[in-house]
Structure 1
Amino acid sequence: MAEGELVGTEQAEQPGQLSVVSTASEGIRVVTPTGEIDHHTGPTLRQALDVTGATGPRVVVDMHGVSFMDSTGINILIAAHRDLTAAGGWLRLAAPVHAVLRTIQIVGVDTVIDCHDTLAQALNA
């Protein structure tokens, strides 16, 4: 993937849908999901976070556009963290909205995966 290239730009036009855009910035892949992450939409995020064929094992998930996330999303993030760490990289989360952040905190994901208030903080950590 070329720097700044967009991938997987399906639009989340209705509630319950998810779109994911992936870009690259200085060797870091930025994955930006928009919509709801649940059992029905999870495969879209899982595919975007797949380490196979990725530009590198350093990934920031910009979560500012995620309005809802259930255990499916939690499991996808943990699996991606595990896979990226095994590949010598890392996963960071950026800018989750309050409801999503609360879910992340309740299950303790923020103690395993670095979580930042802004995309800039996540990219520069």
Structure 2
Amino acid sequence: MSLTVKVVQPSGILDSTKANQFEQEISEIIEAGADIVLVDLKDVTFMDSSGLRVLVSAFKTVQAAKSKLAVCSVNHQVRMLFELASVDRFLDIFANREEFSNSLVSSDSSR
């Protein structure tokens, strides 16, 4: 069984001006039937509470669709925001796409 992985890669400042677009993109990916949504934050320079809200909302949307959401390439500011809001407790966070891919390979071989 192969999983459908779709990557969302926002850039710049993830705040209220970009939050709706980001949320829409995730919804479309889920509607298209992705098994896993990977949010690659390597090009995000700053995230505020609006960006965080959308990420948590996306997590709930993905969960409701019986899919998974993972995040990678988180910078220091975003990691601090995740820790303050305790979202690091339920989000799967990877150092980069390679680490994410390796986790898929290892979980696939353990089935």
Give the TM bin, normalised by the shorter chain. 0.7 to 0.9
Q: Structure 2 regions of 5+ residues with no counterpart?
A: 104-111
Deviating beyond 6 angstroms after TM superposition, the runs of 4 or more aligned structure 1 residues are none
RMSD: 1.5
Match of 2:51 among 73, 82, 99: 73
Instruction: Report the equivalent of 1:112.
Output: 90
Instruction: Report the equivalent of 1:58.
Output: 36
Deviation at 1:123, TM superposition (A): 3.2
- Larger strand share, 1 or 2: 1
Instruction: Report the equivalent of 1:123.
Output: 101
TM-score (norm: length of structure 1): 0.73
Q: Structure 1 regions of 5+ residues with no counterpart?
A: 1-25
Q: Secondary structure, in 3 states, of the residue corresponding to 2:11?
A: strand
Which deviates more, 51-60 or 115-124?
Answer: 51-60
Aligned length, in residue pairs: 100
- Larger helix share, 1 or 2: 2
Ranked by relative contact order (alpha carbons within 8 Å, sequence separation 6 or more), the top structure is 2
Instruction: Report the equivalent of 1:34.
Output: 11
TM-score (norm: length of structure 2): 0.82
Identical-residue share of aligned pairs (%): 27
